[in-house]
Amino acid sequence: MKTTAVISYLFTAVTAFAAALSAQPATSSVAPVGATLVLKAGQPGPVINPNIYGQFAEHLGHCIYGGIWVGENSPIPNTRGIRSDVVAALRELHIPNVRWPGGCFADEYHWRDGIGPREQRPRMINTTWGGVVEDNSFGTHEFMDFCEQIGTRPYVCGNVGSGSVREMMEWVEYLTSGADSPLANLRRKNGRDQPWKVSLMAIGNESWGCGGNMRPEYYADVFRRYNTFVKNYPGNDIYRVAGGSSGDDMNWTNVLMAMAGKQMNGLSLHYYTLPTRDWKKKGSATEFDEAAWFATLRHTLRMDELVTQHAAIMDKYDPEKRVGLVVDEWGDWYDVEPGTNPGFLYQQNTLRDAIVAGLNLHIFQKHADRVFGANIAQMVNVLQSMILTDGPKMTVTPTYWVFEMYKVHQGATSLPIELTTPDYVLGEGKIPAVSAAASRDTAGKVHLSLVNTDPNRSIAVTCQLEGVVAKAVTGRVLTATDMNAHNTFDAPNAVQPVPFTGATLANSTLTVALPAKSVVVLEL
């Protein structure tokens, strides 16, 4: 992405921008600046894998219990114990997959504890997250029911850290085999006659840390062994994801690709955005100044660098790009909300998080030739979540709305763009002010998503359209007056998309009045 300032614009573009800007709510008194963009619709790129929009639900805090699962006897409306309001909200996102049961929890989870009559299931201590009692009332059957209710695919994370090869092999058989066998018949006894489809499976989680503190050479051999016994039963083909690197550990990726690249389908990458880059004091989710806003966005943009570097290593061993990069943990990580359990990782979600989501999704789409999928952490009540709940109360977050607006990109063909953007400058630091991505869906509609990282200045974006004749443009915008604007149970609609009238068409030129600190999605 180029970051050179644009010195002048066409007179018509400036006139259109001024007229369009007057139709939008004012978010800044600072004079607007400009960016230029060329959208090359006649030169289509790779298809954007819908799995980039994956979600993550771990047995952590109130993600599962209270967030997704309330039990069949709860006064909160539910279907077989799963919250109806959460299901309805998640269905709107067209979620491609949900990663479960962890996370670090996955490597202490033993699947047999979560099947059969709930009153007979053994209890355990969740030693990783809060030391609370896990009663295993939400297990395999409940998770698969949840996936079917929201219309998504399960992404099952197997226990390598404290589990056995046999345990993982038998879980796969229990889930996916239609044979007349002891494990398939046990599934039938527990209420599910036909096997489920499980097309995604992780062979362990963070094996360099909470999943076993392994060296890459050792984990490569462990992966090869466990992977051997993850069987494809008739009618089910599993995409196997090896546990990959944390952030910039390039050696892990190099060793895994060299020693096990031929056995894997995907390789994971985990990277979290911390405003301070200090795990002991990460910063508040809601009480922050512009310096923290800027630092958060600057650190989240490192994702592009990390994906590029890991992809380059993968290219060395896999030039055909057979192995997909799966960023199955990403998102903002702040200090927990005051008064909450530190082990529950509950944090609010503001307009800043919406901007972070938009930037990361653009990065994944930019690398659509290598990035197979990504899973934001996490779905409900944990870290950068889609939904917050409190008993019967529920609200969606600004991040939820970015996923809802961007779902038009899922499965669409990426379209190359050339973007020249001014910088957003704060002190001695600077980042690109505008981020963008474009795609064409199967119906032929072109969608352009834009993010303005600058919280103070509107930006006039002049877009030259090549290879497409646009007759009309519509869109929506997500923004707010304050940087820390967020939804609460008392004010659930404080941050939500509204119709966008700041885009105009003149022949092959699209002009967009992009408000400060905003996410905009346009349909041509």
CA 387 to chain centre: 13
Q: Which amino acid is at 66?
A: G
Asked whether 53 and 361 are in contact (CB, 8 A), the reply is: yes
Residue 278 lies in a domain: yes
Last residue of a domain, one of 387, 410, 433: 410
Please, what's the b/e burial string for 71-109 (b: 16 or more CB within 10 A of its CB; e: otherwise)?
eeeeebebeebbbebbbebbeebbbbbbbbbbbbbbbbb
Residue 3 lies in a domain: no
Residue with the two structure tokens 């303005």: 452
pLDDT at residue 267, rounded to an integer: 98
Q: Is 91 helix (H, G, I), strand (E, B) or coil?
A: helix
Q: In this structure, what DSSP letter does residue 523 have?
A: E
Last residue of a domain, one of 410, 437, 457: 410
Asked if 244 and 332 sit in the same domain, the reply is yes
pTM assigned to the model: 0.92
Asked if 420 and 476 sit in the same domain, the reply is yes
Residues in the chain: 524
What Rg, from alpha-carbon coordinates, does the chain have?
23
What CATH number did the domain enclosing 136 receive? 3.20.20.80
Element (H, E) at 509: strand 509-514
pLDDT at residue 17, rounded to an integer: 39
Name the residues annotated as catalytic.
206, 329
Asked if 389 and 447 sit in the same domain, the reply is no
* DSSP string of 174-214, one letter each residue: HHH--SSSHHHHHHHHTT--SPPP--EEEE-S-TTTTTT--
Say how many domains are in the chain: 2
Asked if 25 and 92 sit in the same domain, the reply is no
Asked whether 439 and 406 are in contact (CB, 8 A), the reply is: no
What CATH number did the domain enclosing 478 receive? 2.60.40.1180
pLDDT at residue 16, rounded to an integer: 39
Residue 96 lies in a domain: yes
- Rounded CA gap, 268 and 263, in Å? 14
Last residue of a domain, one of 379, 410, 441: 410
Asked if 327 and 439 sit in the same domain, the reply is no
Asked if 384 and 482 sit in the same domain, the reply is no
pLDDT at residue 491, rounded to an integer: 97
Asked whether 79 and 87 are in contact (CB, 8 A), the reply is: yes
- Rounded CA gap, 62 and 502, in Å? 40
Domain that holds residue 196: 50-410
Q: Is 163 helix (H, G, I), strand (E, B) or coil?
A: coil
Residue with the two structure tokens 């008064």: 339
pLDDT at residue 33, rounded to an integer: 78
- Rounded CA gap, 90 and 183, in Å? 32
Asked if 428 and 519 sit in the same domain, the reply is yes
Element (H, E) at 316: helix 302-317
pLDDT at residue 24, rounded to an integer: 45
Residue with the two structure tokens 């007759």: 471
Q: Which residues of the chain have pLDDT under 50?
A: 1-29
87 - beta bridge partners? none
Residue 5 lies in a domain: no
Residue 336 lies in a domain: yes
pLDDT at residue 143, rounded to an integer: 98
Asked if 291 and 148 sit in the same domain, the reply is yes
For residue 427, say if its preceding peptide bond is cis, omega within 30 degrees of 0. Answer: no
Q: Which two tokens stand for residue 490?
A: 């008392």
- Rounded CA gap, 365 and 319, in Å? 19
Q: Is 73 helix (H, G, I), strand (E, B) or coil?
A: coil
Residue 72 lies in a domain: yes
pLDDT at residue 334, rounded to an integer: 98
Asked if 307 and 245 sit in the same domain, the reply is yes
Residue 171 lies in a domain: yes
Q: Is 393 helix (H, G, I), strand (E, B) or coil?
A: strand
Asked if 350 and 449 sit in the same domain, the reply is no
Instruction: Supply angle C-alpha 168, 220, 172, rounded to 5.
Output: 15
Residue 4 lies in a domain: no
Q: Which two tokens stand for residue 500?
A: 């966008």
Residue with the two structure tokens 């509950």: 346
pLDDT at residue 31, rounded to an integer: 56
Asked if 499 and 517 sit in the same domain, the reply is yes
- Rounded CA gap, 440 and 465, in Å? 13
φ, ψ at 108 (rounded to 5°) = -125, 10
Asked if 207 and 297 sit in the same domain, the reply is yes
Distance, first Cα to last Cα, the chain: 23
